């Protein structure tokens, strides 16, 4: 519980005010450069992580999906490989969603993927609505992690999966040391230069450092009502997929 509360205290701009409002402001500020920076800073490895998550969901054959904290919709686009009938993407940043909507129209998939303003802690759908729910690099930004997970549990059908893709921390030499140096010094410098937001890419390593991972996060997921929680560590532990069922 201590770790969870510490993570929720990490905010992009100030100790005052709500984390949710500051996260929305931050993503609005960097929305125009987000996709470029995301792929640059991850060397496009983030695309492979999303593909892995989709492969884990494939046996469930989900047709109606929800992508929480969808941002510009990259994960929602990857979910199209599941041949869904409907994908709903929600996010608290209007700026990110506008970028995403342009992408969907260009790809002519806006008839399947619908992006809209929405709060993970107050999801505007009925109980047991979705066949699968995904969150990529979003649970770390929840103001109240347990409330967000409980809402996701509420709108997910019984027996169906939740896939969370989130940053984690390598544990072995030399990846632990290299990762720490890159995340603490190189990433914030590039992020600040390109995005023009000095705090956005220092908030990222701060929030990753404070956020629970591995067994700690798996216990929180179980405590929100999910079962059969598994973790799949990726690229020396830089990221992890958590797969669970309702």
Q: Write the pLDDT tens digit of every residue in 108-137.
A: 999 999 999 999 999 999 999 999 999 999
The domain tally of the chain equals: 1
Omega before 176 cis (within 30°)? no
Q: What is the pLDDT of residues 43-74, one digit of tens each?
A: 889 999 999 999 999 999 999 999 999 999 99
Q: How do strand 227-234 and strand 239-245 relate by DSSP bridges?
A: antiparallel
Extract the tokens encoding 211.
Answer: 């956020």
CATH code where residue 151 lies: 3.40.50.150
Q: What is the pLDDT of residues 73-101, one digit of tens each?
A: 999 999 999 999 999 999 999 999 999 99
| Domain ranges, residue 237 | 2-245
Extract the tokens encoding 21.
Answer: 């409002």
Nearest of 157, 119, 125 to residue 138 by alpha carbon: 119
Q: What is the pTM of this model?
A: 0.94
Q: In DSSP terms, which residues pair with 11 in a beta bridge?
A: none
Q: How do strand 132-136 and strand 113-117 relate by DSSP bridges?
A: unpaired
């Amino acid at each position: 519980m201590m770790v969870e509360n510490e993570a929720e205290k990490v905010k992009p701009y100030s100790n005052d005010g709500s984390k949710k409002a500051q996260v929305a402001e931050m993503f609005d500020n960097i929305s125009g450069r987000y996709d470029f920076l995301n792929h640059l800073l991850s060397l496009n490895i983030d695309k492979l992580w999303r593909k892995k998550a989709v492969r884990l969901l494939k046996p469930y054959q989900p047709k109606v999906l929800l992508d929480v904290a969808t941002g510009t919709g990259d994960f929602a686009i990857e979910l199209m490989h599941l041949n869904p009938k409907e994908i709903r993407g929600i996010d608290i940043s209007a700026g990110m969603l506008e970028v995403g909507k342009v992408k969907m129209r260009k790809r002519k998939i806006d008839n399947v993927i619908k992006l809209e303003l929405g709060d993970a802690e107050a999801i505007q759908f009925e109980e047991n609505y979705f066949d699968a729910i995904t969150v990529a690099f979003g649970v770390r930004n929840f103001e109240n992690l347990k409330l967000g997970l409980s809402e996701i549990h509420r709108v997910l059908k019984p027996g169906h999966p939740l896939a969370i893709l989130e940053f984690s921390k390598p544990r072995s030499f030399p990846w632990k040391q290299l990762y720490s140096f890159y995340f603490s010094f190189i990433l914030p410098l590039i992020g600040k230069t390109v995005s023009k937001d000095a705090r956005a890419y220092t908030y990222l390593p701060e929030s990753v450092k404070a956020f629970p991972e591995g067994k700690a996060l798996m216990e929180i997921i179980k405590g929100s009502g999910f079962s059969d929680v598994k973790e799949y560590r990726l690229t020396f532990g830089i990221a992890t997929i958590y797969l669970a069922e309702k």
